Homo-oligomer: A and B are copies of this chain.
Amino acid sequence: MIPDYGDAFARLRASCEADWLAYTQHDFLEQLQDGTLPRAAFLSYLRQDYVFLIHFARAWSLAVVKAGSLAEMQAASATVHGLLHHEMGLHIRLCGEAGISAADLAATEEATGNLAYTRYVLDAGLSGDFLDLLAALMPCVLGYGEIGARLIRMAGETPYRDWIDTYGGETWQQICREAGALFDAAIRDRLGEAPQTLPRWRQLERHFRTATRLEAGFWRAGLR
């Protein structure tokens, strides 16, 4: 069951479905769900994700710089605020419980695949416009939504229940619906009612697909 995060998401997801499933149904997630994922793999992922969130927040801030209306600015800015003032606190807390201090966390050496993804997203923003940037941001936001929605239906006993509940829970699902709606409105306000008929759409597909592949690489690195 594909969650309803809007029209653009449905189209872009379908344009690279094999890549999308390789990302959202990766082994890392199966092991997360059935509890067989080694603790060390999860902690290594959490640490990389902390570094990831820093650059992800930078990319959403670039979206504020590139927004075309006050409403778009407010939506992007609320995301930055949530990431920096709430979500990163969660990582600090979870890692702290596992004996990783905030200083340790901040000193994490950034993995190449991690770096590749966030810098790609930032460059999508530097080289393109608000839509290019959103197209590269969406696979992370909405992919975690789809993963969470799927795992929460299936998950039984697993030490990673918290993680699954976070992304499968109503708060994150609502964030995903709003992000999808922001993306749909931004496209309509710029490209009109049939954006997928324009050459411009191919570029959005490329950003979405590349970001999706880079996300899959992130899980792959987590299993090594």
Instruction: Indicate if the CB atoms of B57 and A80 lie closer than 8 Å.
Output: no
A141 at the binding interface (Cβ < 8 Å): no
Contacts A112-B116, A115-B116, A191-B200 given; indicate if A66 touches B128 (C-beta within 8 A).
Answer: yes
Instruction: Indicate if the CB atoms of B198 and A127 lie closer than 8 Å.
Output: no
A65 — which chain B residues lie within 8 A by C-beta? 58, 61-62, 65, 122, 126-127
Instruction: Indicate if the CB atoms of A126 and B129 lie closer than 8 Å.
Output: no
A129 — which chain B residues lie within 8 A by C-beta? 127-129, 132
- Docked pose: A97 CA to B57 CA in angstroms: 36
- Docked pose: A189 CA to B201 CA in angstroms: 11
Write out, one digit per residue, whether chain A residues 133-172 have a CB within 8 A of any chain B CB (1) or not (0): 0000000000000000000000000000000000000000
Interface residue total, chain A, C-beta cutoff 8 A:
47
Contact of A73 among B54, B106, B132 (CB under 8 A): B54
A112 — which chain B residues lie within 8 A by C-beta? 112-113, 116, 214, 217
Instruction: Indicate if the CB atoms of A74 and B64 lie closer than 8 Å.
Output: no
Contacts A113-B112, A190-B199, A199-B189 given; indicate if A64 touches B66 (C-beta within 8 A).
Answer: no
- Docked pose: A203 CA to B69 CA in angstroms: 12
Residue positions of A touching B, CB distance < 8 A: 54, 57-58, 61-62, 64-68, 70, 73-74, 77-78, 80-81, 84-85, 88, 106, 112-113, 115-116, 119-120, 122-123, 126-129, 132, 188-192, 197-200, 203, 210, 214, 217
